[in-house]
């Protein structure tokens, strides 16, 4: 017996590394001090910081991976992973420095791995983030044929006096929602059940209500809000931000609320995109469940003082986002969301 006959193909692993080295190197920033293949990634903060705080996060793509398996399209998964992690540290005021990935599969396919890493590299370049390294694990018997799991780890930095935590929020502050590009990376277990089990649709079947196929609608990449928000981070005028991920608005917005405050969301102020309306109607999903399962078209919620509302909406529009709008505010209460 040998390792290959046990299900681990070292040659496929080496071929994968050969293919992805160039993709990763194309993302390197001046802070990168090591090459792909080192035991550890080396990164220097440099001298441009006064009192930096490192901000880190880790996440996955969840069962959105099932859509990639069904369609055979894997490039967008890497984009999803990076942008999700970028947004998670962005809401605390941080900009990304470097990113690492973990890819695990039963039988390694260099072609699939290359697609995934190509998406990672694309999103890292777009966010000014170095793809510093990662791990590819071949684990026979652990995953079904043709399936894999992938996770991402990000490290960013913010000046201590520019941290955004939500602790300055007070009653009277205003909440502005910024549109999502779709489901992003959450709610897919429910969405897949509605689309493929309840409705019995095929992933490439055209849906008139959407104007596209389920595969196209559900694989749309998670949006990065860094290009939009980066110019505003150091102004001190953004008091809080919530990335609307698992748990929807209901569970994510309270994460930034200080004691003695609650958020009010006026559902009538927001035009829920067709995809979410279609899923809710087709699955007969209770409204409260929809707002806790999906982002409902709100990918990011930004809190500012009432006097800064026009400034924020103007800045977002100037950066290219015309869909942002006021959806509620902060009021006295305990950290929670009250829907009006």
- Structure confidence by residue, pLDDT tens digits, 165-196: 999 999 999 999 999 999 999 999 999 999 99
pLDDT band of residue 330 (cuts 50, 70, 90) is very high
At residue 33, the pLDDT reads 95
Q: What is the DSSP string of 13-80?
A: HHHHHHHHHHHHHTT--TTB-S-TTSSS--B---S--SSEEEEEEEEE-GGGHHHHHHHT--HHHHHH
SS3 102: strand
CATH of domain 4-162: 3.30.1330.10
Phi, psi of 82 (to 5 degrees): -65, -50
Q: Which residues of 136-166 are buried (b: 16+ CB within 10 A; e: fewer)?
A: bebeeeebeeeebbbbbbbbbbbeeebebeb
Distance of alpha carbon 126 from alpha carbon 80, whole angstroms: 13
Tokens of 55: 């901000």
Residues 6+ apart with CB under 8 A from 94: 53, 55, 156, 157, 158
At residue 5, the pLDDT reads 72
**Burial bucket for residue 37 (CB in 10 Å: 0-12, 13-18, 19+):** exposed
Residues 6+ apart with CB under 8 A from 257: 166, 169, 240, 263, 330, 335, 336
Residues 6+ apart with CB under 8 A from 255: 166, 242
Which tens digits make up the pLDDT trace of 210-259? 999 999 999 999 999 999 999 999 999 999 999 999 999 999 999 999 99
At residue 8, the pLDDT reads 78
At residue 9, the pLDDT reads 78
300 within 8 A of 87, measured Cβ to Cβ:
yes
239 within 8 A of 304, measured Cβ to Cβ:
yes
- pLDDT exceeds cutoff 90 at 320: no
At residue 1, the pLDDT reads 75
Cα–Cα distances in angstroms (integers) from residue 231 to residues 150, 168, 196, 212, 322, in the given order: 31, 20, 41, 34, 17
pLDDT band of residue 80 (cuts 50, 70, 90) is very high
pTM of structure: 0.95
121 within 8 A of 82, measured Cβ to Cβ:
no
Tokens of 115: 């697609």
Which tens digits make up the pLDDT trace of 274-298? 999 999 999 999 999 999 999 999 9
CATH of domain 174-339: 3.90.650.10
170 within 8 A of 331, measured Cβ to Cβ:
no
SS3 95: strand
- pLDDT exceeds cutoff 90 at 16: no
- pLDDT exceeds cutoff 80 at 268: yes
Task: Count CB neighbours of 338 within 10 A.
Answer: 12
Average pLDDT, the chain: 95
221 within 8 A of 79, measured Cβ to Cβ:
yes
Q: Where are the domains of the chain?
A: 4-162, 174-339
129 within 8 A of 99, measured Cβ to Cβ:
yes
């Amino acid at each position: 017996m040998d390792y290959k006959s046990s299900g681990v193909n070292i040659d496929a692993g080496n071929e994968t590394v050969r293919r992805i080295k160039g993709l990763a190197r194309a993302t390197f920033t001046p802070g990168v001090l090591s090459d792909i293949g080192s035991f550890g990634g080396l990164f220097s903060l440099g001298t441009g910081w006064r009192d930096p705080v490192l901000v880190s996060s880790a996440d996955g793509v969840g069962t959105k991976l099932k859509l990639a398996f069904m369609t055979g399209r894997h490039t967008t998964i890497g984009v999803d992973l990076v942008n999700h992690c970028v947004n998670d540290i962005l809401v605390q005021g941080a900009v990304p420095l470097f990113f690492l990935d973990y890819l695990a599969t039963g039988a390694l396919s260099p072609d699939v791995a290359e697609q995934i890493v190509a998406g990672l590299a694309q999103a890292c370049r777009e966010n000014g983030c170095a793809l510093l390294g990662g791990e590819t694990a071949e684990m026979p018997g652990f995953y079904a044929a043709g399936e894999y799991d992938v996770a991402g780890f990000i490290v960013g930095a913010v000046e201590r006096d520019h941290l955004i935590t939500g602790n300055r929020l007070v009653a009277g502050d205003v909440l502005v929602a910024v549109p999502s590009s779709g489901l992003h990376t959450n709610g897919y277990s429910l969405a897949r059940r509605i689309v493929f089990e309840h409705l019995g649709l095929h992933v490439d079947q055209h849906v008139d209500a959407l104007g596209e196929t389920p595969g196209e609608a559900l694989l749309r990449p998670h949006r990065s809000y860094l290009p939009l928000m980066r110019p505003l981070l150091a102004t001190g005028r953004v008091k809080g931000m919530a990335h609307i991920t698992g748990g929807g608005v209901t569970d994510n917005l309270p994460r930034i609320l200080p004691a003695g405050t609650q958020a009010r969301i006026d559902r009538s102020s927001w035009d829920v995109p067709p995809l979410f309306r279609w899923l809710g109607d087709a699955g007969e999903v209770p409204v409260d469940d929809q707002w806790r399962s999906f982002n409902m078209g709100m990918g990011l919620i930004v809190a500012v003082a009432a006097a800064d509302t026009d400034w924020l909406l103007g800045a977002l529009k100037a950066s290219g986002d015309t869909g942002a709008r006021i959806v509620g505010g902060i009021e006295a209460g305990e950290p929670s969301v009250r829907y009006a």
